[in-house]
Amino acid sequence: MNIIKVTDYQEMSKTAAALVAEEMMNKKISVLGLATGGTPFGTYQQLIELVKAGEISFATTHTVNLDEYVGLANDHPDSYHQYMYENFFKHIDIPVEQTHLPNGDADNLQQECLRYESILEELGGVDLQLLGIGENGHIGFNEPGTSFDSKTHIVDLEDSTRKANARFFDKGEPVPAQAVTMGIQTIMNSKKIVLLASGIKKAEAIARLLQGEVSEACPATVLKRHPHLTLIADEAALSLA
Ligand code: GLP
């Protein structure tokens, strides 16, 4: 594992965007895996600046997102579809048909999981996957206890995860109880993984990743088995490690 220690969120975002940009310039990314939440937001802002400056282009890149809430239509303001569109896709030169997310509002969710896996296969896999980490060590929406062999699947969200994500929902609007997420094996199949962590709330999960044993009780620990993992974390996130 390559660990890059940075001072704060801003430096984490710049470092992550620079790393992605470098891989793109070297033509090593045709499929980029994306995450949502507060962590990658700054990275997307930095990447948008690089696109505007003409340094990188997403014209031929495909993106695949980790997850989506069950029951939210793609145009629901709190869906990850909208998060990605508002915070990233609408500002860059990517054709919309090259952006892929699971459809959490599909009539047949089991089939949707299979469809998503076959998209990943057709695209030839993910070249670089950006990841955040949940306070309980989840990656994507793979909660503690998820099998390391899992492919894209439907999950019941833990109350703590729903609480942590409530800040992205309008007041009083319930956070969905389920989500569709790439599985742990799906994530581990990525050629490279860049895990981002910022802030004291992530310190315990990062300490478990760095010091704990690899265990399904803390999904992120599986990343230690990945041959090309880069962790970009700030001082606060590394403060218990
Ligand atoms: C959500 C997402 C994850 C994300 C995690 C951390 O549950 N499904 O992909 O990594 O939360 O979110 P944040 O970056 O907002 O702390």
DSSP assignment, residue 56? -
pLDDT for 172: 83
Q: Which atom of ligand 1 is nearest to the CA of 40?
A: 14
For ligand 1, whether the C-beta of 187 sits within 6 Å is: no
Q: To test ligand 1's pocket by mutation, which of 12, 34, 39 has the most ligand atoms within 8 angstroms of CB? A: 39
State CA 76 to chain mean position distance: 19
Tell the residue nearest (CA) to atom 3 of ligand 1: 140
Beta partners for residue 193, in sequence order: 129, 229
pLDDT for 28: 83
Give 112-151 pLDDT, tens digit per residue: 999 999 999 999 999 999 999 999 999 999 999 999 999 9
Q: What are phi and psi of 232, to 5 degrees?
A: -110, 110
Tell how far the Cα of 139 is from the centroid of ligand 1, in angstroms.
8
Beta partners for residue 6, in sequence order: 234
For ligand 1, whether the C-beta of 66 sits within 6 Å is: yes
Identify whether the C-beta of residue 34 lies closer than 8 Å to the C-beta of residue 64: yes
* Whole-number Å distance between alpha carbons of 112 and 93: 27
Tell the residue nearest (CA) to atom 1 of ligand 1: 37
Sequence ranges of the domains in the chain: 2-135+186-193+223-230
Q: Which atom of ligand 1 is nearest to the CA of 131?
A: 10
Residues of the chain with pLDDT under 50: none
CATH number assigned to the domain covering 2-135+186-193+223-230: 3.40.50.1360
* Whole-number Å distance between alpha carbons of 38 and 9: 10
Identify whether the C-beta of residue 21 lies closer than 8 Å to the C-beta of residue 56: yes
For ligand 1, whether the C-beta of 38 sits within 6 Å is: yes
Residues 55-61: contacts with CB under 8 Å, at least 24 apart = 55/21, 55/25, 56/21, 56/24, 56/25, 57/93, 58/92, 58/93, 58/94, 58/98, 59/93, 59/94, 59/95, 60/30, 60/98, 61/24, 61/29, 61/30, 61/31, 61/32, 61/94, 61/98
Other residues' Cβ atoms within 10 Å of the Cβ of residue 28? 12
Q: Is the pTM of this model over 0.90?
A: yes
Axis-axis angle for helices 41-52, 9-25 (nearest 10): 50
* Whole-number Å distance between alpha carbons of 176 and 72: 8
Task: List active site positions.
Answer: 67, 136, 138, 143
Tell how far the Cα of 111 is from the centroid of ligand 1, in angstroms.
25
For ligand 1, whether the C-beta of 160 sits within 6 Å is: no
pLDDT for 128: 98
Q: Which atom of ligand 1 is nearest to the CA of 157?
A: 7
* Whole-number Å distance between alpha carbons of 104 and 74: 8
pLDDT for 5: 98
